Structure formats: structure tokens, C-alpha cells
Chain A
Amino acid sequence: MDFFDRFAVPHPSLAIYASMAAIGLTIIAVIAGLTYFKKWGYLWREWLTTVDHKRIGIMYLLSALLMLFRGGVDAIMMRAQLAVPENTLLDAQHYNEIFTTHGIVMILFMAMPFIMFFMNFVVPLQIGARDVAFPRLNALSFWLFFMGAMLFNISFVVGGSPDAGWTSYFPLAGTEFSESVGNNYYMIAIQIAGIGTLMTGINFITTILKMRAPGMTLMKMPMFTWSALIANVIIVFAFPVLAVLLAMGTLDRQFGTNFFTMDNGGMDMLWANIFWVWGHPEVYILILPAFGIYSEVISTFARRNLYGYKSMVGSMVIISLLSFLVWAHHFFTMGQGAFTNSIFSITTMAIAVPTGVKIFNWLLTLRKGKIVFTTPMLYSMLFIPLFTLGGVTGVMLAMSAADYQYHNTMFLVAHFHNVIIPGVVYAMLAGLHYYWPKMFGFMLNEKIGKWTAWLLSIGFILAFMPMYVSGLDGQARRMYTYSEAAGFGLMNMISFVGAAIMAIGFVLIVYNIYYSTRYESRDISNDPWDARTLEWSTHTPVPEYNFAILPDVRSNEALWDAKKNGHVLFKGEYQKIHMPNNSGIPFIMSCIFFVWGFSFVFSLWIPVILTTIGIFVCMALRSFEQDHGRYISVKEIEETETNLRGA
């Protein structure tokens, strides 16, 4: 019986049993559905074993949307709990678990895969390539991320969720103060997903540097590709830090080392320091591709070229360098002295300069344009003012002496949501509407789309502006309740109303997908937005090989050149195309990783050893496998092209 006790939830509640039932029913429904419609083979052939960057991208998108709702439910529960003083909807432990998982799910399992979706789907098309440099590694990246996310998500029904905050500061997260396996899940699940992310970084740097279409020099790359390149360089430098940090955390928690413990020479603040050496660059891994999407969208719908291309690239490079030099601003209050704080205060404020350059470049891109208000453009135009608010409060926080008053308060919470939601989430929604027709061959409904954008923005303002106020009034973050006398009631109630409006906005997105799938016209062109870059020059739906003939590029707006200046993109005859074969190894290996992770969390060493062997067997199989890929014949290409052109 003892053996099974460890899997029980330490703090069971109705919500958790309901979730258990929901997860169980969903799994049964999926299995029954696949069996009934005889789709197991289709699922395996077309999705689980695919190495096609477009399909992997779509799987990232589905995971991100799924996680958006998981993280969103956490958020609405938090706001509901705090809506009135001394509320008893959630107890302290439950609240702590929820804000912890909200942070991790939203950053690592929602925003990251959303960014990965854009990079996967868009980058190869935008640089005129047929796939990424290492297609099979790409599949492994996705499946590792997915298994990491799933492992993390079962924590709240099996064994207990992490409860020490998404930053998981030791010694609180250590075994001295957190005995349950929750923080083991944190260490292992993020580790597995992180390995996938690191491989994506390597994959996309290689892809962008080596696989661009003829004529596309670095300074002729579209802005999104630039942002993806820089973000991936940051990934390659930052994620090894995370891997080492999580390994140290695992060693402390499960093997009795003393890196971060209270006694035996452990250092409390070591975790916080290393965490933010990864954590701050991570913020830019998210925001730079978002900036890339805004650049594409704003240029397309202002019907103008992006203003200040070179300074846009330059500012991203500077941001990426500065992102590694600001980590201590997350704990000015650690007591490192006036001098150290001054240095980090200045480097942090310095980031405002290149970011400001980008804002002004977007504004100047609008100048003399012919602005069309589509849904993606609406999100971008809401992004500029809202993100500016978040940016300037960031400068306020960077003033370290004043930060002693903002730190750990709702002011900080307001700030980072104010940059992440208009900055990253709006970019994703803009990009989702923008690239939807390229993915699925029909547009998302514009009217519902615009309603959603307005609802989200009104909800956002109501939800987060009051937090600036209650933060200055002394409301610390992460409190599961507050007394009536504290006087935070009104602001938190407004916040809750705002959060509820945002929730309606997110439900509308789902409704829009449903509505558009049923009713929107399938009769759209390859280039429904009148866009400027290569991804719109190929067919919709995009054929497996992306481009029958690799495009010839003269500028950073290759398609616009072709449309307006008579540049010929596709020259020459069809030739047979070399494509990679599908493989089941990435999926199987990641499943083994899942079992490995689960066993590791519960310190079940025999399964850990067996699965470790399994992982190495998978790698050995891959190493000795003779697979040179396959060719698509000219005849096949001709057939596909004629079909697509006819349609």
C-alpha cells in the first residue's frame, strides 16, 4: 500500500477529482473516436511519425492552445479567489500550486510552443527552403516538448503540483520546505522539454544560416526570420544554463547535495541567480519572434516596406546581448549593494533604447502607408500603445532604489503581464489570424476576430491596470488572501471582472475557429492578404515540398518584387526533389522519456535504468539506420502543381 500512497494527491479537493475524471474521459473519448473512425493508421502515418515542419508546427499550435486554456483556467481561479477579501474558494496550498503552474504553463508550455509553431511553420517558407536542416531532430524536439508538458500536467492529479512559484526559489523549493514530489515534476518535466527546445535552437540556426533560397543574403531575410535567428541564438546560449540549473535542483532534492540548502554551505541565492541568467534571456526568446510577427503584419497592412530594416536588425542584436547582462534586476533587494544595483539598473534601462527604436520604426512604417484594418493589424495597433505602457513601467522598475518598493508586489505582476500579453500573446493571435489561411486554406472570420481583439484589450486593461494601483498600496504578490482592512478589495474585484472579460475573449477564439471551419469560404488565393514575403508565393495548401522550384530572391520583400517590379521568382524546370522519410523513433523515444521522467519524479530507480537503456537504444538505432530519404519524381511534382493551380 505504501508504494501506491506516493501517487496520491497530497491535498485532494473537488476540483482535482473533477480534473481526474475529465482527463480520464477525454482519453477514453479520444481512443474510442480513433478506433471508431479507424484513424489510428492515419494518426500514426500522417502526424505521429511526420518530419514535415508544417505539420510539426501545427502540432505545436494545438499544444499551445490546449495549454493556453489550462493556464487560463488557473488564472481565472486566482482572480476569483482574490476578488473579495478573505475568500475561501481556494486554500493557501491550492492557490500556491495554481499560481506556480499558471506561470510555468503559460511561459514554457504555451508561449514557447506558440513561438515554436511560428518558427516551424513560417521560417522554412519564408526563406524558400523545403524543410528544416534536421527534420527528424525537429520531430524529436516537438515530442520531447510535448511529453515534458504532459508530464508536468499530470502532476496535479498524480502526486501533487509544484507549489514554490514558477521561479521555484530554493530553499523553499528544496526538500527542507517542500517534501511532496511536486518540485521533482518541475525539475524533470522542464528538463525534458528544455532539451527539445535546445535542439530546436541548433536546428533553426543551421536552417537559417544554410538553407536560404539563392540570392537571399542575411540582410535580405524577412524580419520574422531575423527575429527567429536571434531568438534561437539566445536559446542556444541560455538553455544549457537551465539544464544545469535543473540538474542541480534534482541533485539537491533527490540525491542529497547541498547547492541551495540552508545548511552545509548551500547558498540560498545561487538558484535565483542562475535561474535569472536563463530566465531573463528567456523573456527575449519570446518577445523577439513576437516583434518579428508585428513587423510582418504592420508592413503588410500598411502596404509599405518596413521602415528602418537595418536598425530593426541592429536593435534585436543589441537586445539579445543586453538580455544576458540584466539578470540581477530580478532581485535588486538581495543586498548586493548600491554599486552592483547601479550597474544592473543602467543595463536594464539601456534595453529601453533599442526597444524604443523598434516602436518608432513601426510608427514610421505606418507613415505614408495605406492602412487596412484586418484582425492581425488590429492586434498590432493595440499592441503598440499597450506594450508602451508595459515598457515604461519596466523602466520604472529598473530604477533600483524605487524597485525596493515595487519588488514582489502586484505592480511587478501588472508590469510583466503588460509586456507579455500585448507583446507576446497579441503577436501570437495576430500571427494565428495571419497565417491561418496558409495553414488550412480558409480565413478566420474577421468580424469575430475583431470583437475578440477588443474584448481582450478591454479585459486586459481592467484586469491589469488596477494591479499597478494595489501594488503601490502594498499588496504583495502571491498572497492567497488579504484582510478587508487592507483595502485591496475594489482593485481586485475590477481585476476579476477584467479577467472574466478576457476569458470570454479566449472562448470567442475557439468559437471563431469552429465558425470559420464551418462557414468560411474555401475559395481563397495563395496570397489572401496581399503580402510581401515568400511564404505567400507558394500554393495553399502548401505542398509537402513547399516550393516546386526554389525561388530566386533579390530583396527582403521577394514576393512584393515579383508582384510590383516584375521580378521572376521561379525560374527553370522541375527537378526531382529530395525529401526526408517519416520516422517513428522520435515519438517512441519521447514516450520512453515520459516514462523515464515519471519514474525519476518518484525515484523509481529500476524503471529509470530500464528507460535510460531504452533511450540509448533508440539513439543507437538511429545511428546505424541507413536512410537516405526519398525522391519526389518530376511527374509527381507536375501532377501536384497542376492540381493545386486548378483548385
Chain B
Amino acid sequence: MHKKGIKVALFSVFLTIITLLAGCEPLLVLDPKGPQAKRQASDILLSIGVMSVIVLVVFALLVYMLVKYRASKQRADYEPPHIEGNLWVEVVMVGIPVLIVAFLSYVSVQSNYIVEAKPKGYEDKEPLVVYASSSNWKWHFSYPEEGIETVNYLYIPTDRPLEFKLYSYGPITSFWIPQLGGQKYAMGDHVTTLHLAADVPGEFMGRNANFSGKGFAENTFNVTAMSQEDFDDWVKEVKETAKPITEKKFEELLEPGHLGQQTYTGTHLEFSPPPAGHDHSEEASETPETETHTESHTGHEGMSH
């Protein structure tokens, strides 16, 4: 009866993998469109690989023991021996897992520094800074350099590092665009930074991943990645057509509820600045650099006017 059970279990796992592979569309997280998400997807696949070996070893050992040492296969008078632990067996039992964990730790630590920095391959490019703040149950995206603000949708240029400054006007939320990279929390008392980039144009799903109350399920936003030229055109168009955001208007936007997509010129950063504190992921040396960027951009903006 038991062998059958193991087979059922194995078959179900197999079935799940098949469904996974044969699904009409690839799973979002395993279909990365940016360098950070690629690194994370490769870490995920690597760990699935290593872990499958461990699972197979355990399953094989279990099946072997259950088949070989079940009572029905033994003599009626068989008395199992008394066996204490064996030092060498235990050294192997500890040693191999330690090696596996050490290897995965090495990969993990490396990835940590990669996902917390400007995306690889984008080091010399100037980042686009976007302030992404959440309120119940919306996302507000401020483009300080461009002087525009959107609600619940995000336009981004491809081939340029993106630096998201996250904070919240309500409960803790988590800013997540699975195909561009993993999530990070947005909180009320300090700003966190998330480094992303999009390699190719496309439409991506973005959402708040951290439960934040009644309207949480619908707390999503659309992300559109496009070439720098298209992005510039869009910014220009917004500046020509959209209305300016005022303090009064912004306070209305903060009221709990759902809003569609909206576009404004100006940003709320001027009258409702983000919290003063920063997270520790920001290297001390990076801070002045960021400031220079902002300055240079103010200059750029001045020229265009």
C-alpha cells in the first residue's frame, strides 16, 4: 500500500511540473524582462535544481528502506539490532548539507549585493528616479526630474536604470513588478530604494503585494516600458495636456478608495515631501551622488523650458 503512495506523491509532483512547463504562458517570475528579475529567476531555477537532487535522494532512501525492511519481508523471528550512531555516517550527514548550504549562501550573498545596486550592465547610465508612494489603495508615481505625476500607472524607458523611492501614506505596502524584479516595502516613516531596469519594451503587471486592508486585492498598477524617445514624447505630451497637481487635489487623492489612472503635471513632493529617513541599503557614498543627479536634472529641465 505504501509504495503505491509514494508513487502517487511522485506522480503528483511530476504532474505539477508538467503543468508548469506546458502552461500556455510562462510564469511571471520565471519570465524576466529586466536584469534584476533575471538574476532572481536564475537563483530560483538554480535552487530548484539543487533542491530536487536532495528531494530525490531522500525519496530514494525512504523507498529503499521501506521496501527492504518491511516486516512482511523479514523472517518472523528476526530481531532488529541495536545500533547507536556512527561518527562517520554523522560527519557525512552534516558535511554534505553544510557544503550545499555554503554554496547557496555564497550565491545568495552575491545576489543580495547585485539586487541592491544599480542593475548590472547599466552602471554608466544615468538612472531615472521615480518616487512611488502608496495610499489606501492606490499608487502615486512622481517623476521629479520630468515634473509629472501619475496615479496607478507607470511609464518607464527601457535600457535605463530605474531607481524607485518607496514610501507610504498608509499601512505598509510592497511595491512589486514581478517581471522586472522582486518587491520592496513602502512604509510611512522612511524611504526605501528599489533598483530595477527593463531590457525590452512591454506591458507588465505591478501591484502592492503586502496586505493593506479592504481594497488590497485591487491595489494594482500597469507598467509600460518603451524606448527613451517614446518616453520623452509621452512626458512632453503630459506636460502639454495634463492639469497641475495641487495640494488640495492630492489630499482628495489620498482619501481611501480606488481611482482609475490619472495624470498630472508637477509632483506632490513639493508640498508633501517624502519622510526624512532612509533605509540602510543606501550606501553612505551614494547619497551625494544622487543629489548631484537631481541637480543636473533640474538644470536639464530649466533648459527645456
Contact of B94 with A384 in the complex, beta carbons under 8 Å: no
Residues on the A chain within 8 Å of B93, using CB: 311, 356-357, 360-361
Contact of B108 with A342 in the complex, beta carbons under 8 Å: yes
Contact of B182 with A474 in the complex, beta carbons under 8 Å: no
Q: How far is the CA of A598 from the CA of B113 in the complex (A)?
A: 50
- Name the CB-closest residue of B to A388: B58
Say which residue of A310, A366, A398 sits within 8 Å of B66 (CB atoms). A366
Say which residue of A331, A333, A400 sits within 8 Å of B108 (CB atoms). A400
Residues on the B chain within 8 Å of A482, using CB: 217
Say which residue of A302, A337, A474 sits within 8 Å of B69 (CB atoms). A302
Interface residues of A in 380-415 (CB under 8 A from B): 381-382, 384-386, 388-389, 392-393, 395-396, 398-405, 407-409
- Name the CB-closest residue of B to A397: B47
Interface residue count for A (Cβ, 8 Å)?
103
Asked whether B242 is an interface residue with its Cβ less than 8 Å from the other chain, the reply is no
Asked whether B303 is an interface residue with its Cβ less than 8 Å from the other chain, the reply is no
Contact of A338 with B205 in the complex, beta carbons under 8 Å: no
Contact of B101 with A352 in the complex, beta carbons under 8 Å: yes
Contact of A266 with B189 in the complex, beta carbons under 8 Å: yes
Q: How far is the CA of A339 from the CA of B40 in the complex (A)?
A: 17
Interface centre among B12, B136, B168 (most CB of A within 10 A): B12
Give the interface segment out of A206-214, A367-375, A632-640: A367-375
Shortest Cβ gap from B233 to chain A (Å): 28
Residues on the A chain within 8 Å of B302, using CB: none
Q: How far is the CA of A307 from the CA of B98 in the complex (A)?
A: 21
Asked whether A364 is an interface residue with its Cβ less than 8 Å from the other chain, the reply is yes
Shortest Cβ gap from B175 to chain A (Å): 9
| Contact A474/B178 with A466-B16, A468-B16, A479-B216 known, Cβ cut-off 8 Å | yes
Contact of A381 with B178 in the complex, beta carbons under 8 Å: no
Interface residues of B in 192-224 (CB under 8 A from A): 192-193, 205, 207-217
Interface residues of A in 169-201 (CB under 8 A from B): 169, 171-172, 177-178
- Mostly, the A contact residues are helix
Asked whether B122 is an interface residue with its Cβ less than 8 Å from the other chain, the reply is no
Shortest Cβ gap from A220 to chain B (Å): 13
- Name the CB-closest residue of B to A453: B5
Residues on the A chain within 8 Å of B47, using CB: 395-396, 399, 402
Give the interface segment out of B26-34, B151-159, B246-254, B292-300: B26-34
Contact of A369 with B172 in the complex, beta carbons under 8 Å: no
What total count of A-B pairs have CB within 8 Å? 308
Asked whether B70 is an interface residue with its Cβ less than 8 Å from the other chain, the reply is yes
Residues on the B chain within 8 Å of A331, using CB: 185
Asked whether B261 is an interface residue with its Cβ less than 8 Å from the other chain, the reply is no
Asked whether B304 is an interface residue with its Cβ less than 8 Å from the other chain, the reply is no
Contact of B105 with A349 in the complex, beta carbons under 8 Å: yes
Interface centre among A310, A339, A382, A405 (most CB of B within 10 A): A405
Residues on the B chain within 8 Å of A262, using CB: 170, 188-189
| Contact A473/B16 with A172-B213, A395-B104, A396-B44 known, Cβ cut-off 8 Å | no
Q: How far is the CA of A469 from the CA of B28 in the complex (A)?
A: 10
Contact of B116 with A338 in the complex, beta carbons under 8 Å: yes
Asked whether A643 is an interface residue with its Cβ less than 8 Å from the other chain, the reply is no
Contact of B280 with A402 in the complex, beta carbons under 8 Å: no
Asked whether A308 is an interface residue with its Cβ less than 8 Å from the other chain, the reply is yes
Asked whether A481 is an interface residue with its Cβ less than 8 Å from the other chain, the reply is yes
- Name the CB-closest residue of B to A95: B217
Q: How far is the CA of A627 from the CA of B114 in the complex (A)?
A: 68
Shortest Cβ gap from A200 to chain B (Å): 31
Residues on the B chain within 8 Å of A382, using CB: 5, 9
Contact of A267 with B189 in the complex, beta carbons under 8 Å: yes
Shortest Cβ gap from B194 to chain A (Å): 8
Give the interface segment out of B73-81, B124-132, B139-147, B266-274: B73-81
Q: How far is the CA of A338 from the CA of B90 in the complex (A)?
A: 34
Contact digits for A235-272, partner B, Cβ 8 Å, 1 yes 0 no:
00000000000000000000000000010001111001
Residues on the A chain within 8 Å of B259, using CB: none
Asked whether B281 is an interface residue with its Cβ less than 8 Å from the other chain, the reply is yes
Interface residues of A in 403-431 (CB under 8 A from B): 403-405, 407-409
Contact digits for A323-352, partner B, Cβ 8 Å, 1 yes 0 no:
000000001011111111110011001101
- Name the CB-closest residue of B to A487: B25
| Contact A401/B187 with A407-B182, A454-B5, A477-B211 known, Cβ cut-off 8 Å | no
Asked whether A497 is an interface residue with its Cβ less than 8 Å from the other chain, the reply is no
Contact of A399 with B104 in the complex, beta carbons under 8 Å: yes
- Name the CB-closest residue of A to B70: A371
Interface residues of A in 448-491 (CB under 8 A from B): 450, 454, 457-458, 461-462, 465-466, 468-469, 472-474, 476-482, 486-487
Asked whether A582 is an interface residue with its Cβ less than 8 Å from the other chain, the reply is no
Say which residue of A269, A307, A369, A402 sits within 8 Å of B85 (CB atoms). A307
Say which residue of B80, B84, B182, B213 sits within 8 Å of A333 (CB atoms). B182
Contact of B74 with A363 in the complex, beta carbons under 8 Å: no
Interface centre among B70, B78, B97, B193 (most CB of A within 10 A): B97
Asked whether A304 is an interface residue with its Cβ less than 8 Å from the other chain, the reply is yes
Contact of A399 with B43 in the complex, beta carbons under 8 Å: yes
Contact of B66 with A342 in the complex, beta carbons under 8 Å: no
Q: How far is the CA of A600 from the CA of B215 in the complex (A)?
A: 30
Shortest Cβ gap from A405 to chain B (Å): 4
Q: How far is the CA of A619 from the CA of B13 in the complex (A)?
A: 56
Residues on the A chain within 8 Å of B80, using CB: 302-304, 368-370
Contact of A388 with B182 in the complex, beta carbons under 8 Å: no
Contact of B28 with A473 in the complex, beta carbons under 8 Å: yes
Show 11 A/B contacts (Cβ-Cβ < 8 Å), sorted by A.
A92-B216, A311-B93, A346-B101, A350-B101, A353-B98, A360-B61, A366-B69, A395-B47, A404-B40, A450-B1, A482-B217
4 more A-B contacts (CB under 8 A) besides A177-B213, A349-B104, A469-B19? A366-B66, A367-B65, A402-B111, A474-B27
Which 5 A-B pairs have CB atoms at the shortest separation, nearest pair first? A404-B182, A401-B111, A335-B192, A335-B279, A308-B85
Q: Spell out A's residues near B (CB within 8 Å).
A: 92-93, 96, 163-165, 169, 171-172, 177-178, 262, 266-269, 272, 302-305, 307-311, 331, 333-342, 345-346, 349-350, 352-353, 356-357, 359-361, 363-364, 366-373, 378, 381-382, 384-386, 388-389, 392-393, 395-396, 398-405, 407-409, 450, 454, 457-458, 461-462, 465-466, 468-469, 472-474, 476-482, 486-487
